Structure 1
Amino acid sequence: MKYAGLIKEIKDILLPVCGEYADYEAGKIVRLTAETDSARLFAALHDEVPPNVVKKSEDIAKKRLRGEPLEYIIKKADFFGSEFYVDRRVLVPQADTEVIVEKAVSLSRSGMKIADICCGSGCIGLSVLKNTENTTADMFDISDGACEITVKNAAALGLADRANVLCRDVFSNGFFDGRGKYDMIISNPPYIRTDVIGGLSPEVKSEPHIALDGGEDGLRFYHRLFDICPGMLSDGGIIIFEIGYDQAEQVTSEGEKRGFFCEAFRDYGGNFRCVTAKKL
């Protein structure tokens, strides 16, 4: 079998779950199993494929057909120019979330102390650290598994000395005990309404429920964060939230009630995805 034929075979397997993205994922799977890049794969389209590459590609595609996210199968995800280890203990980093990192980096200055609450894989906070100078971060999550993965990713990115990972429940008393004030607090909390989760795609439903469920109205975590974060900000400090596409008005209103100047920003798909709340 030639590489062109293998890509078509994998695409055909993936069509029921990937639809219009089947061609993209097929190419990605073959690149991974062949341990090559796009340019080399294109040049080798009419070359024979080693049998082990065929088998590995087919095995991954069959797992993907069952609705398992590709990133969980291959144990890695690309995000903001870096590679992150991921598995079923954390959400898969999404491209839309990169706007949170872009906003955080644009508002950062050298020496800032940052908190990343509900850090998951650490993709947001670690990406901010990697793209800023002399910054440090406390990275919080309730999940032991998520904290282990963040530690692993921090080490892989050479950021272990700048990232302090703490396994804490944001709803517990004394969540911030002993941490001091922050110049920036970032959070991508669970924000999906409880009654919506059952109707999500199989890929999303395979992700950890605790990282998805934002309560009856999807806003449970935002209320809590606006309760506990204001007193932890330094003068002129800022909070940056990821939000659901339909939550901008509610989250900005909540912040404005607490005396913050709030702005909402859209992602690359045109949906509201980010809210900043600046301490006045």
Structure 2
Amino acid sequence: MFKRIALFLATNLAVMVLLGIVLSVLQGVFGVSLGNNGLLLVMAAVFGFGGSLFSLAISKWVAKRTTGMHLIEQPRNEGEAWLYNTVKRQAEAAGIRMPEVGIYDAPEINAFATGPSRNNSLVAVSTGLLRAMDRDEAEAVLAHEVSHVANGDMVTMALIQGVLNTFVFYLARVVGRIVDGFISGNREGGGGGLAYYAIVFALEIVFGLLASVITMWFSRWREFRADAGGAHLAGREKMISALEKLARTYGQSTLPSQVRAFGISGSVGPGLKRLFMSHPPLAERIQALRDASASAGVVRG
């Protein structure tokens, strides 16, 4: 599990550092002064939001290509017809346009939602889920994913990542300038050389890790909200039953990193590992649904 977490973080940091290098090159090409904080912030925002919004725009294409899924356009059998019609009914209840529906081949019990907007989305389930879960449990999983779409989680995550990327790029250069000035003694002609860029590179990694903690915290929070939405669309007991099935059988996710945060389940480690996980423990999610049910019962009583 730790190896998978490290790989995920390394990939995201590598992308951020690459964009940071390009930003540094353009900073020099266009002669952006190290002291011109306003222009530097604008350039950081362009790169920070540009990367996250581009990833959002191609998210469906990436998901289809990396999973090799089969899209259900004309159901080939009763099972595909049930899957398609269930998503259609839930989408109508949630007030969103019908998502594309797909099945991808994987032994794990999982599903995910992705897409650039509430009305341009994709919901996909694994063959492992269809084999292991009964219709009630599968309905709850689909409702969870439709809730992600209805809540606009993909767009919100992209915007949050854009804001965080912006401040990572910006603060790395502002702090880097201060540190480099201190090292060079603020002497004439000091600063802005290779030492400055080495400091910025290191700071981007540090700030990038801190940004990942914030992103993953929000990801865990929205899982509770998607569970509540799934309970509303499919029924609370169905949602609890689906999560209990996942808790009994869940293994390592084979989803590509681009959509892993939007799967129905994810693993959580102890201590610091938890800070970098996209999903809260299944036991906590189940308890949250039970607590909400108990609270509702008290209010009705």
TM norm structure 1: 0.26
Where relative contact order (Cα < 8 A, 6+ residues apart) is larger, the structure is 2
Q: Report the structure number with the largest CA radius of gyration.
A: 2
Q: Which has the higher helix share?
A: 2
Q: Which has the higher strand share?
A: 1
